[in-house]
Structure 1
Amino acid sequence: MPFYHGLKTYDHTGDADFPHYPGKKQWIAGRLLNLRKDLDEAIVSRRKPRSLIVGSWNIRAFDDGLPRLDESYHYIAEIIGAFDICAIQEIKGDLEPLKRLVKLLGPNWDYFASDVSTHKGGNGERMAFVYNTNRVFFRNLVGEIVLDPDDLGNAAQFARSPFFASFQAGWFRFCLCSTHIFFGGTDAQKKQMRKDEIRELSEILVKRAKKEDQVYILLGDMNIEKENGPIMQALLDSKMEVPLFGATNLKGDKHYDQMAYTVKGKAENKTRLIRRGSFDWRKSVFGPYPQAEYDALPDEEKQGLTRRLSHAEMLAHYKPICDLQRTTAEKPKEPYKDFAKSYGGWTTFEMSDHLPIWMELEVDYSDDYIARFLEEE
């Protein structure tokens, strides 16, 4: 469970946090309670005992540009705290934001990150794994996947080197491989590069699974646009299991983020999928809440300190905060000319332009192990 004691320091009398405004801690607390309720209904309360929840989230430009609001760190931590381990993509060079996030998650959480991608197409990004040490332990293997120069038809190497690490939860040994597949545009050559990266990466993981006693899980931002398109087909054609997650961009029309896992190989304990999904945080924090959906809410959801807020109320609250954020930053920017028009884009830099995805796996195979002895004389 994330830490909340920092909320008591959020007042407008001159603490070190930015920006200051009256009622800051009350506002954050109200949104957190809504977020906790929605996470509980979608993920937490429905999990099976002794299972593992694996998450993946491309957190947009974390953190590059204007500093995120204090509340955004709390919301991101609350979502990741619903998982046991999470792969994060699009972390930028400065690790302080990631350290702040892990501190909010609590002392039982740990992390490690890759180096910055400095070559063409890498966009100066890192990847990281954050994990709950009460549920998962690191098995001391971490690295990046590189290719022979001839493996990719249109490039010598992955634009962003896939980042992998081995873990164990209960009886289940697994290796996560986080990726942010090349995008670079929509022309045929760029799309072919995405297909090539997915094909080569999945083939590598399937081959490794045949030799190593662990399940390989490929996850991340794969820049897959269509569920029935050729880039998705490259993933479906792999010898991995692919539980589809639906659209994960905020417009609801791109299937960027996916997971896949090996089902054949040396690993004695195969992956058993219990549930999977994406989590749409917009009904809990920031919005924009579609007016028709807001109007349809029961009256009790629109009352009290934890009430759901309309889009108009969100705009009225955040406009002065955003103006202050932009004008007092280290590199000031003019306030938005049309905040209502820019609001949706602004929220993607506070949270993300991707929804997090997750899957719940069975990790307790003790019944299977004990049942073996029934067959012995």
Structure 2
Amino acid sequence: MLKKIAILFLLFFHCFTFSQETKISLISWNIKDFGKTKNNKELNEIAEIVKDTDILAIQEVVAGYGGAQAVAKLTDILNRKGAKWDYVISNPTNSPKYVSERYAFVWKTKDIKIKNRGWLISELDSLIDREPFLLDFYVDDKQFTVVDYHSRPFNRDPESEIKALSKFIIDSLKTPVLIAGDFNVDEKMPIFNTLKKSGYRTAITNQKTTLKRRCNRSNHLNHAIDNIFYSRDIRQIEGGVIDFIRFCDQLEKARKLSDHLPVFLRFSLKN
């Protein structure tokens, strides 16, 4: 009898502990040419799509005039939708001409804190065209790191970049890590085996994330190249793609926001 009571107590304690864990949601989104091409109406539509997340990682922020301003405007719009948000923007990446971009993070400040403004991973700027942007977040005094990354195009050997990024993350980062980005490579490909063998998992599998230019028999999706990888000390609660294209006749309008869909991960940090 005592043994049964002990088992029930342990089960109760485990469930209680799990229920007490802070749950965090992250959206990763390549928002095409995110800069002055986005008007206030489009920024408001983007805000409506992301407003329920805790952290937004953006790729393809314009490096020149307009990129930082668009992030600031988006944050201002989000601040008028019921929660307080903050943002950071990376410096332009050290990239070949016409390739340089910025990255951005936007997050709700109620439960999520930062202690620095993030940095581009300079150790990788000779190996990766758009070196990733790293920012440490804190929830309930627990630290985790999000790496924001946009690889070079599929026909320009993104695999060599992913190899270099995987090695750096495994060798250098000791906190729980999430890699949010547009990899231009399907997560099923062997180049990701190094991460997977180190315990990394993905928010989504076998889900296409890019938009076609036109619908083909009501199918508007193209390639499975956006994802969120997370380390073994992170517990996935839910992951998916936010498909904001309701009908094929809205595809052209939707592509003005982006030619990629947002990927989301809801997670907690393991004790």
The TM-score with structure 2 as length reference comes to 0.78
Aligned to 1:54: 26
Calculate percent identity across the aligned residue pairs.
26
Pairing of 1:33-112 with structure 2 (within 5 A): 50-64=22-36, 67-92=37-62, 93=64, 94=66, 95-106=68-79, 108-112=84-88
Q: What is the Cα deviation at residue 147 of structure 1?
A: 3.2
Structure 2 CA distance for partners of 1:233 and 1:271, relative to 1, 3 Å: closer
Q: Is the 8 A contact 1:53 1:85 kept in 2?
A: yes
Given the superposition, is the C-alpha separation of residues 158 and 115 from structure 1 closer, same or farther in structure 2, using an over 3 Å criterion? same
Matched, 1:195 2:148: no
Kindly name which structure, 1 or 2, has the bigger radius of gyration based on alpha carbons: 1
Matched, 1:240 2:200: yes
What CA RMSD, in Å, does the superposition of the two structures yield over aligned residues? Answer: 2.7
Distance 1:250 1:234 in 2: 29
2:130 matched residue in structure 1? 160
Report the Cα distance in structure 1 between the residues aligned to 2:88 and 2:226, rounded to whole angstroms: 21
Number of aligned positions between the proteins: 238
- Structure 1 letter corresponding to 2:211: L
Q: Secondary structure at the match of 2:115?
A: strand
Where does residue 14 of structure 2 map in the other structure? none
Q: Does 1:256 align with 2:256?
A: no
Deviation at 1:148? Answer: 6.9
Q: Residue type of the partner of 1:80? A: V
Contact 1:202 1:238 in 2 (8 A): no
Which of the two has greater helix per residue? 1
Compare the two structures and name the one with the higher strand fraction: 2
CA distance in 1, matches of 2:46, 2:114: 23
Structure 2 segments unaligned to the other structure (5+ residues): 1-19, 213-220
Moved more, 234-243 or 49-58: 234-243
3-state secondary structure, aligned to 2:56: strand
Determine helix, strand or coil for the equivalent of 1:77: helix
Gaps of 5+ in 1: 1-47, 150-155, 264-269, 284-288, 291-310, 315-342, 369-377
Match of 2:215 in 1: none
Q: Does 1:130 align with 2:91?
A: no
Describe the superposition over 1:20-78 as per-residue Cα deviations: whole angstroms up to 9, x where unpaired.
Answer: xxxxxxxxxxxxxxxxxxxxxxxxxxxx98310011100000125xx334321111112
Contact 1:58 1:88 in 2 (8 A): yes
Alignment of structure 1 residues 9-48 onto 2, 5 Å: none
Distance 1:119 1:140, change over 3 A: closer
* Counterparts of 2:88 and 2:149, CA distance in 1: 15
Match of 2:264 among 350, 358, 366: 358
- Which SS does the other structure have where 2:161 is aligned? helix
CA distance in 2, matches of 1:148, 1:51: 31
Q: Is the 8 A contact 1:146 1:157 kept in 2?
A: no
Deviation at 1:217, TM superposition (A): 1.1
Q: Over residues 190-228 of structure 1, what are the superposed CA-to-partner deviations in whole Å (9 max), with x where a residue is unaligned?
A: 23xx1121121122112223xx4x21111111111x454
Equivalent residue of 2:245, what SS? helix
Aligned partner of 1:199: which letter?
K
Distance 1:232 1:216, change over 3 A: closer
